[in-house]
Structure 1
Amino acid sequence: MASRSLTVRWAAGLLTLGFLLVLVAFVAPTWLVTDGRLRNPTFIRLGLWEVCFQEFKHPRHWYDTVFSNCWWIFEEEYYIIHDILLPGFFVATQFFFTVAFTLCLIAIILIILFFKVKKNDDKYIMLLLTLGTLIVGAGFSGLISVITFGARGDGRDWMPNWEHNDHGWGFALGVIGVLLLFPSGILFLVEARVNRYKKLNEIHSREQSAYTLEERKVHYVSGHTEI
């Protein structure tokens, strides 16, 4: 780590922090929460994969089933309210945040390999480019997710008592984590560009040195021939 540039160390640090926040947000059950002002709210909280109700019934009264406690959002018992639990915008939120999380996980694995590669290795610049591309891609995917949920999550056409529902800390951590990915990815791409130009300059310098040496040999041989 010490042999890496300051740019790489900052990029790795931002990636690590961003990944940890994205990981916590990915499993957190608090993307949407009740504000606590209602005495007996039917909706308690919701994450990407878990939802908590308290004596919740289908709002259209199609079924008499009452839902209470916290359950996995794809629990078999919830199939009768999937039209409520899984609207299109929320499925999009789950999908894009999962893509972001997966790309971050791959980037974390690659950065472990990256710190084992020497600077003069042919894979060094390729790993920098791959890391930068993956992380920026994760950032854009995560950004789509949090913007979608931020715009629609506490809307009046979704969870009951919408006026008492707020975005929770899980969502906030997801936003911060996603935003940290952009500077991390950009720094990796900048470092790749810098190293690429350095390598090209080194190749050019070696070629110039080789050409000059060859030219001197030719002049030396020519001088002796004339004698």
Structure 2
Amino acid sequence: MGASNRILQVAVCVSVFSLICFVIAFSTPYWLVTDGGLQNPRFTNLGLWEVCFNNFQDIHRFFDNPFNGCLWVFEEEYYIIHDFLLPGFYISVQLFATLCFVMCLVVIPLTAAFLRTSRDDDRYMVLLLAIGSCQVVGSVFGFIAVVIFGAKGDSRDWMPGWQNNDMGWSFALGVVGAVLLLPAGVLYLVEARRERYKRLNEISNREISEYGDEYYQNQAPPAALPSAPSPYESYFASEPSRPRRPQQSSSSNSAVHGGIQTDI
């Protein structure tokens, strides 16, 4: 199993929770809602891809047909109010939220593959780096999306009845999901770094061990030093022979023959 220690178990749990939160926020139409203070609000709720109106008409009064119910924001019926319905900040929110959602979708199969991978597998560290990087990048995209929507979503120049418009629970889930993606990704990257150093230490220790064994095996045995004789051996050892006195030659004897030999 890939999540073999406490750090990875926490990372997987936080990652799954943040993915669920952001996917729900991405697909539900409650980023901006009316607070119920108006009896007949023309706007009821809105998400990234769906908006709900109640007898809403073109603010420029170019067309008199009212809009009721919930429809996709790119629906053909909304074509006449696209300039009002799709301002630049809203399209930016959709773009960055979509990029974050794509990163979440990429992380799901990577996490499933990681949970089935053992630590000794060569893909183990690659999966850690890929999951962590995707989550960090996705968190940046999601954070940009929620910041833009939080700053401009309930402004007075967008949806009608702006005094009674509040951020909904879908927006709250989007904030939680985008923020928690960052620590989850950081935990994966930290574990990948630890795993890299572990493998480098194991390789270096193995090389040192192999080099040491080979070095000691190739060393020649030390030459035997002469040992000092024991007292017993030194006592019974034969004494060295004394040098003999040189004998006189015959020529010298014949030379002094008949004479008086004196020893001086």
Partner of 1:223: 221
Match for 2:52: what amino acid? Answer: C
Matches within 5 A, 1:1-227: 1=1, 4-219=4-219, 222-223=220-221
After superposition, the C-alpha distances for 1:103-132 in whole angstroms (9 at most, x for unaligned) are 011111101001111111111111101110
Q: CA deviation at 1:80?
A: 0.5
TM-score, scaled to structure 2:
0.82
Query: What stretches of structure 1 of length at least 5 have no aligned partner?
Result: none
Match for 2:221: what amino acid? Answer: G
Q: CA deviation at 1:28?
A: 0.9
1:3–1:67: structure 2 CA closer, same or farther, 3 Å change rule? closer
Q: Distance in 1 between matches of 2:153 and 2:115?
A: 40
Match for 1:206: what amino acid? Answer: R
Match for 1:18: what amino acid? Answer: S
Q: CA deviation at 1:3?
A: 5.8
Q: Distance in 1 between matches of 2:151 and 2:124?
A: 41
2:71 aligned counterpart, secondary structure: strand
1:166 aligned counterpart, secondary structure: strand
Report sequence identity in percent: 47
Indicate conservation of the 8 Å contact 2:2/2:117, yes or no: no
Q: Distance in 2 between matches of 1:69 and 1:117?
A: 48
Greater helix content: 1
TM-score, scaled to structure 1:
0.96
Q: Distance in 1 between matches of 2:109 and 2:121?
A: 18
Match for 1:150: what amino acid? Answer: G
After superposition, the C-alpha distances for 1:27-68 in whole angstroms (9 at most, x for unaligned) are 111000011000111011001111000111111111112101
2:102 aligned counterpart, secondary structure: helix
Q: Distance in 2 between matches of 1:44 and 1:71?
A: 12
Q: Distance in 2 between matches of 1:108 and 1:69?
A: 34
Q: Distance in 2 between matches of 1:177 and 1:37?
A: 29
Q: How many residues align?
A: 224
In our comparison, the structure showing a higher alpha carbon Rg is 2
2:58 aligned counterpart, secondary structure: coil
Q: Distance in 2 between matches of 1:169 and 1:117?
A: 37
1:223 aligned counterpart, secondary structure: coil
Q: Distance in 2 between matches of 1:135 and 1:4?
A: 20
For the aligned residue pairs, the C-alpha RMSD in angstroms reads 1.3
Q: RCO higher in 1 or 2 (8 Å CA, sep ≥ 6)? A: 1
Runs (4+) off by over 2 Å: none
Q: Distance in 2 between matches of 1:27 and 1:54?
A: 21
Indicate conservation of the 8 Å contact 2:18/2:178, yes or no: yes
Higher deviation after alignment, 3-12 or 85-94:
3-12
Indicate conservation of the 8 Å contact 2:57/2:64, yes or no: yes
